[in-house]
Structure 1
């Protein structure tokens, strides 16, 4: 039969089976796909053609918009220019290793490893299609690159940062949530007032703010285990109340003076001066400015989550509880209690961390490498 291709052409394809019924069933499946306008890859498809099909028919409908963007960028910038013309079924380890080595020399080892992971994901999806691909050559090629996820701060550095943030930025409450709960920046920006219970000191992390096309939208978290209620540290309550009053005051001032104001229908906790929900990129720039002003250097985007885990380890919190606070997806079987109520151990751990960062005097003995902090104290 003739089936449509991702590039808009039509090619002949055969359906095989162990007997007539199996072959006929596969033939009817191909006909149904063709009548629905769904492209069907063939054995002579190039990697460039497969990337188009994979991104449009596999990644975009089933994965998040952020993942689709990451994969699309890797394909557009690194994979298609080097491997696009190659026939997918004829791609060998030798040719792939040479292309990845050249990419590592031109860009970096981390870039090459990331591109290799994207290629591996696409070839794994190709093995599920009826095109004859039986092995993933990307898994046979390795790239040696640093796995450093960024530095983490100790209690003294976190305290210095929060002290500086209190004076420097109105988004100090957001930085408190990053430091004490290890939330992701996108999760903080996606936090809504309906997710915050200041009286009972509980917040629910249910969505994150991500860029999509020309603007930003709230999207679901990647895994169900990331959706979890967390105890709100005591020192976060007053700053969050102040944030709510600030938003109301900004709105009244804008309406009274005729300045532009955007009424947020979702009532995000952290907004800009014009009422727009705060973006993760803006929060990241705020973090860097505060860190530089405090003399702490540049902070890795994931540094706060790592610092939160480091501080909890310092407090001798059980690793299971640390993973519960950070909501790592690899321990989904151990987080079922989040569907019902808060874990008492999680509440105790957050309380200990809150208490640690409330006592500057006790931190002086921990600062063995920073005479600047001693002088300032």
Structure 2
């Protein structure tokens, strides 16, 4: 019957390891526990195979690992290839190419090659422990990485290990159930309508002014705006169909489907002001096309450079940041224009379901989490307005609240 043993790395005078015969093993703190079990013969070479593992601090840990190895043998999932974590993750990344959006694959590649593989890549895949994943998470936090980033890195590793379990390379996903930092969702802070108007007035003559205005009027994402085609705009029925977005991937600028299933091919209604903005912009673009002649690169995009080239999403954000610097406006990112649109819709009396559908959220719960505090402010105004419609009611409390205690005392005398 297989059993666990305690060994160490001490050597005798001839340089040979003592192994299980080291005299210092009388001290229970010396050495580590492990096991070695026969695993039959290799069907290709006919040579006898063994599964071995060492480095456990206690006998109980080694017994648990031994039991896992025996279960893997019975299931036929034992790993005899001594696959390293880094090699497996690189192979897994290669397999995902073409299965994921280029931007998503780029993020996975960056997380694994820059963070996970340097920390865990040298370990044998079969030896990977929950403690190793916990150490990775702590290391990322110690390096100052944000909670959202840590969670994304962990999610990528967990996805890869889940596939290893599916393929029979692991018997469990050791990344599952890890303790992760909590993401503290901050309240969305946006400009007031007056501040938004001040900004639009300031950028009225800038080439990207119409794009910024459409962002506020529709709530469309940055990638959706720069990826928008005229073929998806119907000014007569005042509708935009959001089908694609442009994203910056490691391979360059690529076109992808809309960000979420709920966001794909969603219809965005256009107010009259947005129609006017787009009509004016189309006239300007037609003038550019005529001026550039044969050199004009007709991409079919709505928002382009003078020569027809499409905008990069990151350029739009940089331009927005530059245009807002030095102005007496609360600091905001370009993406906050999307939140501004949602807040304006809520202020106009729209409920969460309508706002959620317009924003392209996968469900209204996301909208509620993001904008609940805005809705509460508007709800308070609404209930005060409703109360104001009722006739005043007499009574001591009402008099005190409306006239003050001194005036109430005088009236009683």
Q: Does 1:232 align with 2:265?
A: no
Q: Does 1:272 align with 2:305?
A: yes
Contact 1:182 1:326 in 2 (8 A): yes
Contact 1:64 1:222 in 2 (8 A): no
Instruction: Indicate how the Cα distance of structure 1 residues 139 and 164 shifts in structure 2: closer, same or farther if over 3 A, else same.
Output: farther
Q: Does 1:121 align with 2:159?
A: yes
Contact 1:93 1:141 in 2 (8 A): no
CA distances 1:39-95 after superposition (whole Å, capped 9, x unpaired): xx97732221121122111x3222111100111111121111111112233222222
Instruction: Indicate how the Cα distance of structure 1 residues 309 and 124 shifts in structure 2: closer, same or farther if over 3 A, else same.
Output: farther
CA distances 1:314-372 after superposition (whole Å, capped 9, x unpaired): 2231111111011112369xxxxxxxxxxxxxxxxxxxxxxxxxxxxxxxxxxxxxxxx
State the SS of the aligned residue for 1:329. Answer: coil
2:126 paired residue number: 89
1:354 paired residue number: none
Contact 1:250 1:273 in 2 (8 A): yes
Q: TM-score, normalised by structure 2?
A: 0.64
Match of 1:314 among 330, 347, 360: 347
How is 1:165-314 mapped onto 2 (pairs within 5 angstroms)? 165-167=203-205, 169-213=206-250, 215-226=252-263, 227-255=265-293, 261-264=295-298, 266-314=299-347
Contact 2:103 2:250 in 1 (8 A): no
1:351 paired residue number: none
Contact 2:158 2:173 in 1 (8 A): no
User: More helix per residue: 1 or 2?
Assistant: 1
Cα offset, 1:102, TM superposition: 1.9
Contact 2:203 2:209 in 1 (8 A): yes
Q: In 2, Cα distance between the equivalents of 1:76 and 1:95?
A: 17
Contact 1:164 1:293 in 2 (8 A): no
Q: Does 1:164 align with 2:202?
A: yes
Cα offset, 1:145, TM superposition: 4.6
Q: Which runs of 5+ in 1 are unaligned?
A: 3-14, 27-40, 333-377
Root mean square deviation of aligned Cα:
2.8
Q: Which runs of 5+ in 2 are unaligned?
A: 1-42, 45-71, 366-413
Contact 2:303 2:311 in 1 (8 A): yes
Instruction: Indicate how the Cα distance of structure 1 residues 52 and 149 shifts in structure 2: closer, same or farther if over 3 A, else same.
Output: farther
State the SS of the aligned residue for 1:199. Answer: coil
**Computing the radius of gyration over CA atoms, which structure comes out larger, 1 or 2?**
2
Q: In 2, Cα distance between the equivalents of 1:215 and 1:292?
A: 28
Cα offset, 1:215, TM superposition: 3.8
Count the aligned residue pairs: 293
Instruction: Indicate how the Cα distance of structure 1 residues 60 and 229 shifts in structure 2: closer, same or farther if over 3 A, else same.
Output: same
Instruction: Indicate how the Cα distance of structure 1 residues 109 and 185 shifts in structure 2: closer, same or farther if over 3 A, else same.
Output: closer
Q: In 2, Cα distance between the equivalents of 1:43 and 1:108?
A: 34
Using CA pairs under 8 Å that are at least 6 residues apart, name the structure with larger relative contact order, 1 or 2.
1
Q: TM-score, normalised by structure 1?
A: 0.70
Q: In 2, Cα distance between the equivalents of 1:291 and 1:42?
A: 60
Cα offset, 1:138, TM superposition: 4.5
State the SS of the aligned residue for 1:225. Answer: coil
Instruction: Indicate how the Cα distance of structure 1 residues 114 and 223 shifts in structure 2: closer, same or farther if over 3 A, else same.
Output: closer
Instruction: Indicate how the Cα distance of structure 1 residues 210 and 159 shifts in structure 2: closer, same or farther if over 3 A, else same.
Output: same
Q: Does 1:102 align with 2:139?
A: yes
Of 170-179 and 294-303, the range deviating more from structure 2: 294-303
State the SS of the aligned residue for 1:179. Answer: helix
Cα offset, 1:17, TM superposition: 8.8
State the SS of the aligned residue for 2:241. Answer: strand
Q: In 2, Cα distance between the equivalents of 1:200 and 1:269?
A: 17
Q: In 2, Cα distance between the equivalents of 1:162 and 1:205?
A: 24
Q: In 1, Cα distance between the equivalents of 2:318 and 2:269?
A: 27
